[in-house]
Amino acid sequence: MIGRQVVAALLLWLSCCVSALWRYYMNSPDYSIFSTRSSINLEYEGSSFTSWKIPESCKVSNATSPKTTLHCKRAGIHKIKPIAGTHRCLSQLKPEIVTIWMYDPESASPEELMKTATKPSLGAHGGQKNILEKSLRTFGVCGSDEGLQPGTAPNSMVLTKQMNTLGQRPSIFTVEKKLVYHPGPLTSEGTWVIHIPMSTDDLAKVLRGNKVAFQDCLVANLYFLLAFPMVTISDPDDYLPLTLPAGAPMLISWHTCISTFALLATDQELFQTNDSFRTWTKIRAPPGILSDAERHSLRDVILLENGILILVGTTVYLKRENEFTRLNESNGISRDGILGFSKRRWCQIRYLYKFSARKSIVIAWSTTAFYAGYSTYRFVQIITTSELKQILKLPPTDTLEIMTIEYSWHPMEVALLLSHCSVCASTRNIRLVMYSAIHGSYTLRDFELQVPTGILLDFRFLFSAMPDIILWDQHHIYYSYNNFTQVGTIETVSGETNLSSLSQDSKVHNVLTDTIGNILVKMENNEMFYIKSDITVAVKLHTWINLTTESGLLFDISHQTCILLYNRNLDEKYQLKLQPYPLALELQSINEDLADWCPYLAFQHNIHSQFYHLDKGESLTTWTQIVYPENRGLYVVLEHYGSNVLTWTQNIEYEIASGFCTKTVTTRFFQTTNYQLVDDYYYLQFCQEKNTGLTLFQFRPSAFSRTCPTAKPVFEIDTGCDSSKYIIVRGELLRDSLSENLKVRYDVAKYGCPKTLQLDEMFQPIVELYDENGFLKIVEVDFILWEIHGRNDYTFNSTMEENGCINEAQTWDSMIEENPGVPLEDVWGPQGGVFCNLTTIFAVESLGMLPRSSVYLVAALIFVLMLTFISILVLSYFWYSKIYRQFIYEPLHKPPGKHKKH
């Protein structure tokens, strides 16, 4: 929820003073709803503070206190000036159970502020964004027009019910699959409830509200991640600490797609969290495996979904629940000598399904070898520097060493940063080689730096379709933009390239990059510099954290920049604290002097996914629009990288009104290859790189500056067969002569119920095409049908002539004859002309046909009948013979006997 649509900003001034710094925050830690409508806390650290100088439209609780509360009655730009410091500008920015309510940060309950509330508070309390176990609770903020005083705003339940009465119905939109989920009626507790099915490939969500205003308040879009609970490791009490070397700066690693699932390595402990360090556990080693020196020589950690890779010295260990294993040659990786490992930096959930089995999840390297690791934690040695010298045609006497390796945005490419010298003296040449896992090829890119011997370099690929990179050593930042056509050293506005000289000789600690082009460089003493993607000039940001505080950079659940503070002197329960960092507000602050304004007003597009798939004959249409002041001549640039398998056409519409120009570019991507009437379809489709492959695209304005807020859309188009698609026959029959009846057990659980038809009823299979999201369309291309058990007692309802065939159609007999020895399912496979190789099994049950009698059954029946008949005859003979004999020897009537006289 945000206070106003108009910009409300504070311009806060502080003179240049190294020993002093100050910050601003609200009761709510969420800077995305920062507004002058709410109370703003001012906090000054230093000994030279006298008082706050504020404009007439604002007031503070205590102007002479270094910690006070600011209230402003109206929106706009407000300059706040303490007696010392440089300036900064604050600007207002516009199945899981999800519970939503509005909140008032001015009078939130302690439970809401601590993110443990389960429902809106009553009285003068509200709530704030919260994740608790399986329920995500998201809140808005609102207040009165004349500035807010504590306790004067409506409480959360009243505010939510009032917004509901006015028609507010928040919904949740999923970024990748573009699904929308709506709540049921408002509950009696004053909350909306949304049920969202969990999905590993649709983690990013956006909370949206209707355009309903209450006390001039509107619901602002809120980006957040909603994932399955990630399980942290819990070790027994007798396990021993794993730490960085004494005095080493903290090291942070997080899951590529779930930033709240993270690791923190310090010189005291190794911590793990699944809720952005609101809670945490300690990762330790079992006794007896590592020596004390080894336990305190941790160099790197990688957090993966079901395990942790830990680099101790030059040896890799795998840590899982109740497991701590040393990896060695039996796992495909060297037992020692490993210098580092890396994982994918950008979350790409959907890409190249057909290559998923070969997709590595981690890479490791020594000075002479490069290894790829897979989901089973098995490694494969890809190449050595000796082999690489032969490929690059370097003399065998040259020195070639691997410095570091990183994944690019392309899912099947990595970049090797190499140190090379022929006669190694005080300097070395830094070269970069791209490795393609699809083709197994190595390409030396047009990139070269010269650095002193002993300098260590690290680098990251930026969020870009082109292989843009940022490199750094302890003191400098280097860049390579626009597919290695622009290479150089980042300098500041004063022309200085050594960042350490501008930060009290401190060294580079963290370099954080995000999806909208921000590059944040943090020094070990907490000084920070800002660079924008495609920009070669860095600016120094105002000090936000005390120079002696141990801290690091990471993202929170909304993918906003945060600072993790570590205080080793506090109780274990309070050692870690995550503090949001208002990067957008700080950029506006420093821009007051630089006057570096964005050259365009708006840059919009309809590209909402990182991945698109095109089957044969399909096309993709997108639009991009830029709005800019008249006479600046801006335009939209389309850049691509990867396979040249697609072509595109563009249509440009131009409008001008009220001194502003609008250019809308409609782009249609398609393939021109004709797959009809070819001799070898399989070769044309799969064996030529120009017809199947992955292409990376991006749109960007022709001119931009560091203050432009919109990211360039980066997306992939995969051309070819999509393995996520499948076919089934709507609704749910043998070839060789059989010497006996064939009985087949039909698996109803596997294939479903067969389609039941009468004997005289016509049947033609209707084939339906589906993907992971459900039904797509009816398949209209030709398909092949065969009976898998060889039955041949079926007939056809019409002839080829009746169906308009000019030539005799292919038959199974003819195809088998043309392909001797080929399995039946391959006789008419992709080589013979299929759309893509999609198959399905179905069954038909025919009713009304009398079964053919068995010869043995008929013979047996006749035999039984004849035997019965003969038996009856024989029995009849003997029966009638007995009767005949009886009548021969015994007369039918006895003569009357004589009577005796007495």
Task: Give all strands of the β-sheet with 180-181 in edge-to-edge order.
Answer: 180-181, 171-174, 204-208, 222-225
In total, the chain counts a number of residues equal to 902
Q: Which two tokens stand for residue 809?
A: 């159609």
Dihedral angle, C-alpha 859, 861, 864, 865, nearest 10 °: -110
Mean pLDDT, the chain, integer: 81
d(CA 215, CA 53): 30
d(CA 543, CA 26): 19
90 pLDDT higher than 50: no
- 289 Cβ partners below 8 Å, 6+ apart? 324, 326
Q: What is the pLDDT of residue 649?
A: 96
d(CA 446, CA 433): 9
Q: Which two tokens stand for residue 21?
A: 């710094």
Whether the Cβ atoms of residue 578 and residue 277 lie closer than 8 Å to each other? yes
13 pLDDT higher than 50: no
705 pLDDT higher than 70: yes
Confidence band (pLDDT; 50, 70, 90) for 95?
Answer: low
**Mean pLDDT over residues 876-898, rounded?**
71
Angle at 478 between CA 477 and CA 484, to 5 degrees: 160
d(CA 381, CA 370): 6
Q: Which segment of 50-64, 470-484, 738-752 scores lowest on mean pLDDT?
A: 738-752
Confidence band (pLDDT; 50, 70, 90) for 128?
Answer: very low
212 pLDDT higher than 90: no
pLDDT one-digit tens code per residue, 238-281:
999 999 999 999 999 999 989 999 999 999 999 999 989 989 99
Confidence band (pLDDT; 50, 70, 90) for 42?
Answer: confident
Position of tokens 């782009």?
Answer: 667
Helix (H, G, I), strand (E, B) or coil at 586: helix
d(CA 641, CA 436): 13
For residue 800, report the phi and psi dihedrals to the nearest 5 degrees. Answer: -60, -40
pLDDT one-digit tens code per residue, 275-331:
899 899 999 999 999 999 999 999 999 999 889 999 999 999 999 988 999 999 999
Q: What is the pLDDT of residue 525?
A: 95
Other beta carbons within 10 Å of 175: 16
pLDDT one-digit tens code per residue, 368-425:
999 999 988 999 999 999 999 999 999 999 999 999 999 999 988 999 999 999 888 8
Other beta carbons within 10 Å of 811: 9
Confidence band (pLDDT; 50, 70, 90) for 688?
Answer: low
136 pLDDT higher than 50: no
Position of tokens 């994982």?
Answer: 343
Whether the Cβ atoms of residue 521 and residue 528 lie closer than 8 Å to each other? yes
Cα dihedral 231, 232, 235, 237 sign = negative
For residue 639, report the phi and psi dihedrals to the nearest 5 degrees. Answer: -120, 150
First to last CA, the chain: 144
Q: Which two tokens stand for residue 900?
A: 């005796």
Whether the Cβ atoms of residue 241 and residue 27 lie closer than 8 Å to each other? no
Residue 813: its H or E element: helix 812-818
In single-letter form, the type of residue at position 19 comes to S
Q: Which segment of 13-17, 489-493, 570-574, 725-729 scores lowest on mean pLDDT?
A: 13-17
**Mean pLDDT over residues 737-747, rounded?**
60
Dihedral angle, C-alpha 860, 865, 868, 873, nearest 10 °: -140
**C-alpha closest to that of 417 among 465, 484, 330:** 484
User: What is the model's pTM?
Assistant: 0.77
Q: What is the pLDDT of residue 739?
A: 53
**Mean pLDDT over residues 31-53, rounded?**
77
Q: What is the pLDDT of residue 825?
A: 66
Percent of the chain with pLDDT over 70: 82
131-135, 585-589, 807-811, range with greatest mean pLDDT: 585-589
In single-letter form, the type of residue at position 66 comes to P
Q: What is the pLDDT of residue 204?
A: 86
pLDDT one-digit tens code per residue, 572-593:
888 999 999 999 888 888 877 7
Q: What is the pLDDT of residue 345?
A: 92
In single-letter form, the type of residue at position 604 comes to Q
Q: What is the pLDDT of residue 80?
A: 77
